[in-house]
Amino acid sequence: RFFFDNDADLAIMNGKTLAVIGYGNQGRSQALNLADNGFKVIIGGQSDATLEQAVADGFAVMNVTEAVKQADAVFVLIPDEIMPRVYDEQIAPFMLAEQMIIFASGYNVYYGFIVPDPALDVVLLAPRMIGKGVRDRFVSGQGYPALISVQQDGSGQAWPRLLSLAKGIGATKMGALASSFEEETILDLFNEQAMCGIQLWAFRMAFDVLISYGLSPSAILLELYASGEPEQIAAAYSELGIWDQLKLHSRTSQFGQLSRARLGAGPELKAHMTRVVDELRDGSFAREWACEQRVGFPGLHRLQTLVAEHESYRAEKRLYDIMKKNTEQ
Ligand code: NAI
């Protein structure tokens, strides 16, 4: 079910101390939204430019452990790959029974890289929005969707407390959907690995095919994405729906998309999607990624090199240089 502003009571967590650990994409936006809603927010982190920003924004700033000790609820908003170590060393030893810990991603808890004490309230409050949007859409009053879940209810009050905080960051304005750590993790990674990512490789494959027919690299890239048209189309997906936005295209385009493109999304793509979900559910992707992190990301670096050495990457750099030069004039 969806939870809206009317289902949540800011007063439940008002007067409590909320520690936001990490002042990056999500941390800054969520902290500012909570503060605007009258919550007492402190920031825990390591000394770097983001922490200086927190000071400039007027927050009390301290190291992670100190913030955890002072807090009733702890938002863990640091990168997922760093989180387990920080959690084990600087957060977990200082958490008390019934204290609440809030994650914006299900990843570490779902895969068991973080195992919270059973006496804690452990909840998911995951905006389906980049950090900038979490702030901008709070300020504009537009809101944004979020997935929420209670994994552990040490206090017996985890749901009303979570809803209070969800409203505090602006996540119940458009509707916060009850989900689970598992569902959030699988969906988030599936979207990256089977949808967004596949588009990148489809662009590259299209480049290779069209180049082999003698078409110009710049014209190809402009047609595929460099014009900025795809972002207009993506905006229409969320405003009108994926099928109704077809009305914005010519009838020739509609017929082509409904007939030819349908054939491209065939059994191979379905097999890929199924494999992606299977590897997320059986933990093999998470194990591979944990191993990558331990040995210094050799696989990631190899793939980055593979991409950078391709002709489409060089053509993109040349095109963007020309386009940028033109806009600077
Ligand atoms: P980020 O990369 O912006 O986090 C940077 C912050 O973490 C900085 O303030 C940095 O000082 C701090 N940090 C890094 N290492 C640290 C350490 N060892 N000790 C203390 N602080 C440290 O993180 P982001 O992107 O905001 O992600 C935070 C959480 O939100 C993650 O769980 C992510 O999956 C989730 N999320 C992120 C979204 C996004 O738009 N980026 C969208 C939805 C959820």
Give the model's confidence band at 168: pLDDT under 50 very low, under 70 low, under 90 confident, else very high.
very high
Q: What number is the ipTM of this complex?
A: 0.98
CATH of residue 170's domain is: 3.40.50.720
Q: Which atom of ligand 1 is nearest to the CA of 103?
A: 32
Q: How many angstroms does the Cα of residue 58 sit away from the middle of ligand 1?
A: 20
| Secondary structure (3-state) at 10 | helix
Give residues (CB < 6 A) around ligand 1: 22-27, 45-46, 48, 50, 64, 77-80, 82, 86, 104-105, 126-127, 130-131
149 shares a domain with 252 = no
Tell me the per-residue pLDDT of 37-83, one tens digit each, with 9 for 90 and over: 999 999 999 999 999 999 999 999 999 999 999 999 999 999 999 99
Residues 240 and 269 reside in one and the same domain: yes
Examine the fold and report which residue of 179, 200, 229 is the final residue of a domain before the chain moves on.
179
Same domain, 85 and 35: yes
In 3D, which of 126, 103, 100, 98 has the Cα closest to residue 113?
103
* Whether residues 20 and 121 fall in one domain: yes
Q: For residue 248, give the H/E element and its range.
A: none
Q: Kindly state whether residues 113 and 133 are assigned to the same domain.
A: yes
The closest alpha carbon to 288, from 45, 139, 81, belongs to: 81
241 shares its domain with 94: no
Q: Give residue 324's pLDDT band: very low, low, confident or very high (50, 70, 90).
A: confident
Same-domain pairing of 110 and 67 = yes
Q: Nearest C-alpha to atom 21 of ligand 1 is from which residue?
A: 45
Same domain, 279 and 169: no
**Structural domain for 159, as ranges:** 2-179
The arrangement of strands across the sheet holding 73-76 comes to 2-3, 176-178, 146-153, 121-127, 100-103, 73-76, 17-21, 40-44, 60-62
Say how many Å lie between the CA of residue 208 and the centre of ligand 1.
36
The answer to whether residues 220 and 132 belong to one domain is no
Which residue bears the tokens 């602006």? 170
Do 150 and 67 belong together in one domain? yes
Site to substitute for ligand 1 among 25, 62, 81, 134, most atoms within 8 A of C-beta:
25
Average pLDDT in the chain: 96
How many separate domains does the chain show? 2
Pocket test for ligand 1, best of 20, 21, 23, 26 (most atoms within 8 A of CB): 26
Nearest CA to ligand 1 atom 36: 104
How far is ligand 1, taken at its centre, from the CA of residue 24, in Å?
Answer: 5
pLDDT bin (cut points 50, 70, 90) of residue 329 is low
Question: Of 139, 155, 179, which closes a domain?
Answer: 179
Q: Are residues 237 and 324 in the same domain?
A: yes
Q: How far is the CA of 104 from the centre of ligand 1 (A)?
A: 9
Beta-ladder partners of 18: 41, 73
Where does a domain end: 158, 179, 200? Answer: 179
The rounded Å distance from CA 40 to ligand 1 centre is 21
| Pair 166, 273 in one domain | no
Sign of CA dihedral 136, 139, 144, 147: positive
Residue 62 · residue 43 · CB < 8 Å? yes
